[in-house]
């Protein structure tokens, strides 16, 4: 198969390329990224440089998609968290540009990486299936953007053959797969997670000496390993399976499980107080995690992955606690990967860039 992967240098993209590099199935893979790796990734990948946040990327997408058997759309952004215009241009605008290019070139299969974040708030801790409403959590920019991308997919599918999301005509009908995983982790994303959520002046090892975890006792979240998400993508491509699929490993991660993995004492602090502290520190530019993530953590439902198991034959190879331990170890070691997105993180480098380029939340995209 000829497969084009947007966001191929990120957390899930690297896991997918790693899987294909060791697979007996041979795929012709085109990786699209704003910053392709300097060294070739695992296996044979043809790299295309394109910034999906900009309309100028549209011709490059159409050229890359021409003749493809499938497109896997993974590209998304998390930083700078204060630049919502950029994040929307990449997540929502990038999805629109991908859909228009898919329509223009008649790609038979599109796999879109949606998210747990697209779901509406839960009623209780009973896991929900793919029929749960995807109206999101309005106070979270990430959730709003994931919902907007889902609505673009709705319009694309409703239009059917002959119409894209813009003026481009479609060459054929396209099977659309929406994957909605819980929190996706792997060891080599440690440095990236540090950059997203921990101030640059704080050493990575501080994570492993946290004395207490001051979080509401009601916290419970689903998690899944990046390799298992890559396996679901592979299965969907092999089977040409359309529709939505939840992806989560057991067990759901409670506040106490997270504290145990961190080696910290669980300390009950109401979610409203946690949000207030995160909001104040985010607005003061002390840390980069916007308060919408706290709203998501306490509002989003747990995931029922029965459909993925039944229809795709998917089964996670790592339980959620093992995934969390791997992620925490990766964060503590500032583990990194072979791509710019997963590059090593160090306090010295962060301080140097803060002096030469300014704080991350004030930097302009090139």
What percent of the chain is modeled with pLDDT above 90? Answer: 72
Whole-number percent of the chain with pLDDT over 70: 87
What pLDDT, in 10s, does the model give residues 195-239?
776 765 566 677 777 899 999 999 999 999 999 999 999 999 999
pLDDT of residue 312: 97
pLDDT in tens, 280-326: 999 998 888 999 999 999 999 999 999 999 999 999 999 999 999 99
pLDDT in tens, 74-89: 999 998 899 999 999 9
CB neighbours of residue 205 within 10 Å: 11
- For 143-198, the pLDDT digits (tens) are 999 999 999 999 999 987 654 444 334 435 899 999 999 999 999 888 888 777 67
Distance CA(331)–CA(262), nearest Å, equals 11
Residue 275, domain CATH: 3.40.50.720
How many Cβ atoms are within 10 Å of 257's Cβ, its own excluded? 18
CA distances from 330 to 129, 206, 219, 261, 346 (A): 31, 13, 22, 13, 13
State residue 200's pLDDT score. Answer: 58
- pLDDT value of position 154: 96
Mean pLDDT, all residues of the chain = 89
DSSP assignment, residue 128? B
Whole-prediction pTM: 0.91
Number of domains in the chain: 1
Q: What is the pLDDT of residue 336?
A: 84
- Distances, alpha carbon 73 to alpha carbons 81, 181, 198, 207, in Å: 21, 14, 27, 32
Domain that includes residue 23, residue range = 2-362
């Amino acid at each position: 198969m000829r497969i084009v992967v947007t966001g191929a240098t990120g957390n899930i993209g690297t896991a997918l390329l790693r899987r294909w590099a060791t697979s007996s199935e041979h795929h012709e893979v085109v990786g699209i990224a704003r910053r392709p790796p300097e060294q070739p990734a695992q296996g044979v990948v043809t790299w295309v440089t394109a910034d999906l946040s900009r309309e100028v990327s549209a011709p490059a997408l159409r050229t890359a998609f021409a003749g493809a058997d499938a497109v896997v759309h993974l590209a998304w952004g998390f930083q700078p968290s204060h630049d919502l215009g950029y994040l929307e241009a990449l997540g929502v605008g990038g999805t629109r540009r991908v859909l228009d290019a898919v329509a223009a070139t008649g790609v038979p299969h599109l796999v879109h990486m949606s998210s747990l974040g697209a779901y509406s708030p839960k009623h209780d801790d009973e896991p929900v299936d793919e029929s749960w409403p995807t109206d999101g959590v309005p106070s979270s920019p990430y959730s709003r953007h994931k919902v907007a991308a889902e609505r673009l997919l709705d319009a694309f599918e409703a239009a059917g053959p002959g119409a894209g999301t813009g003026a481009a005509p479609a060459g054929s009908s396209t099977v659309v797969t929406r994957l909605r995983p819980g929190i996706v982790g792997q060891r080599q994303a440690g440095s990236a997670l540090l950059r997203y959520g921990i101030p640059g002046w704080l050493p990575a090892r501080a994570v492993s000496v946290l004395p207490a975890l001051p979080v509401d006792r009601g916290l419970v979240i689903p998690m899944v390993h990046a390799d298992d998400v890559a396996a679901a993508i592979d299965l969907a491509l092999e089977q040409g399976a359309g529709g939505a699929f939840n992806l989560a490993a057991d067990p759901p991660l409670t506040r106490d499980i997270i504290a145990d993995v961190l080696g910290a004492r669980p300390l009950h602090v109401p979610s409203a107080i946690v949000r207030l502290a995160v909001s104040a520190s985010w607005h003061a530019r002390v840390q980069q995690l916007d308060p919408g993530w706290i709203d998501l953590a306490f509002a989003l439902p747990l995931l029922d992955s029965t459909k993925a198991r039944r229809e795709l034959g998917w089964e996670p190879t790592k339980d959620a606690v093992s995934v969390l331990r791997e992620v925490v170890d990766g964060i503590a070691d500032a583990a990194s990967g072979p791509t710019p997105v997963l590059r090593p993180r160090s306090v010295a480098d962060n301080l140097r860039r803060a002096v030469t380029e300014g704080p991350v939340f004030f930097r302009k995209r090139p």
